[in-house]
Amino acid sequence: MDDDAYQRYVNINLPHARTVAARIGRSLEALGAFGEAGNGGAVGLVEAFEAVELSLRDFDEDPPMDDALRAADALAQHSRALVEAIASSPVRSDRLGQHVRNLFECLGLGAEGRELSLLCGERADSPLR
């Protein structure tokens, strides 16, 4: 067992990632991101969000380490695409950025999440960082 892989695994929480993804969806909805008038690119944003949501659908519990790492890696790719879609839209908020950071923390990728959250509107001086 690789120490780095194990350290990441203990930080993975796929069931909670599903909860956080739902929060991202509600935030995007509240910000008007999914409507055609919201950003003109809503279709891409909807597709990116749905890919994240679909990737998390089956995780009521965390799987064994190897499966969890593979799932987290696949979900990280979808989550990066979601961040890219958010960044190419005008939709931003501190809370949305916090949710994005939390999502990456649930994937064992906290450092990456701290950087990507800024692209989604989290304030650098946010007390929750």
Asked if residue 38 has pLDDT above 70, the reply is no
Domain that holds residue 19: 3-119
128, part of any domain: no
Q: What angle do CA 100, 106, 109 make, to 5 degrees?
A: 80
- Signed CA dihedral, 36, 98, 102, 114: sign only: positive
Distance CA 69, CA 88 (A): 28
Burial class, 17, CB count within 10 angstroms (exposed 0-12 / middle 13-18 / buried 19+): buried
Task: Look at the pTM and tell me if it is higher than 0.85.
Answer: yes
CB atoms under 10 Å from CB of 93, counted, come to 17
Tally of domains within the chain: 1
129, part of any domain: no
* pLDDT score for 85: 94
**Widest pairwise Cα distance in the chain:** 50
Burial class, 33, CB count within 10 angstroms (exposed 0-12 / middle 13-18 / buried 19+): buried
pLDDT digits (tens, 9 = 90+) for 52-92: 999 999 999 999 999 999 999 999 999 999 999 999 988 99
125, part of any domain: no
